[in-house]
Amino acid sequence: MNADEERSSRLRELGLTPTIQRLAVLEYLDNTDEHPTADKVYTAIRERFPTISRATVYNTLALLTKSEAIVRLTIDPAASRYDAADSPHAHFFCRICRNVYDIDLPQGSPSLSVADGHKIKAVQTYAYGICAACLKRHKEEKDA
Ligand SMILES: [Zn+2]
Ligand SMILES: [Zn+2]
């Protein structure tokens, strides 16, 4: 199965028809680690489908999120960010450049499976601070 077929069957398993727009959004999120905003997804998809409307992209994101085909992150206070629903990982938000990074946080994804009788399926961990690139830039400015 190639990547396109794999995405189509992923959507079918979630009960969704694999339309061109849905596949395009999924493909874009599968291949970026930028955790884009809806606006950014729209800009990227429009490059390939110049006639697609902003509303279509926003509706597609909402539907894919609801079906758990993708993950909506609320880490950025200014805008929702989107991620492929791949292996669970923690996220880091840089308060200076506003980039969202995937991070390995061993205690970030607790191996809890049940808490107070609830069955846990997913845990979102958000960390905030200054990213490595901004720290380096700050240091260089200070040293200059
Ligand atoms: Zn930064
Ligand atoms: Zn991520």
Q: What is the DSSP string of 1-59?
A: --HHHHHHHHHHHTT----HHHHHHHHHHHT--S--BHHHHHHHHHHH-TT--HHHHHH
Phi and psi, residue 91, nearest 5°: -125, 150
Q: Which stretch of 87-91, 96-100, 107-111, 132-136 has the lowest confidence by average pLDDT?
A: 107-111
The CA 121 to ligand 1 mean position distance, Å, reads: 30
Ligand approaching nearest to the C-alpha of 135 = 1
Q: How confident is the model at residue 61 (pLDDT cuts 50, 70, 90)?
A: very high
Please measure the distance between the N-terminal and C-terminal CA atoms of the chain and give it in whole angstroms.
53
Ligand approaching nearest to the C-alpha of 85 = 2
Q: In terms of Cα–Cα distance, which of 54, 61, 49 is closest to 16?
A: 61
Ligand approaching nearest to the C-alpha of 35 = 2
Query: Residues with Cβ within 5 Å of ion ligand 2?
Result: 83, 102
The CA 33 to ligand 2 mean position distance, Å, reads: 7
Q: How confident is the model at residue 112 (pLDDT cuts 50, 70, 90)?
A: low
Ligand approaching nearest to the C-alpha of 90 = 2
**Beta strand pairing call for 126-129 and 90-94:** parallel
Topology adopted by domain 3-84: Arc Repressor Mutant, subunit A (1.10.10)
Mean pLDDT of 58-77: 96
The CA 118 to ligand 1 mean position distance, Å, reads: 36
Q: What is the pTM of this model?
A: 0.87
Residue spans per domain, the chain: 3-84, 90-143
The CA 96 to ligand 1 mean position distance, Å, reads: 5
b/e map of 26-51 (b: 16 or more CB within 10 Å)?
bbbbeeeebbbbbebbbebbeeeeee
Ligand approaching nearest to the C-alpha of 136 = 1
Mean pLDDT of 46-50: 93
Average pLDDT for the chain: 91
Q: Which two tokens stand for residue 109?
A: 């994804």
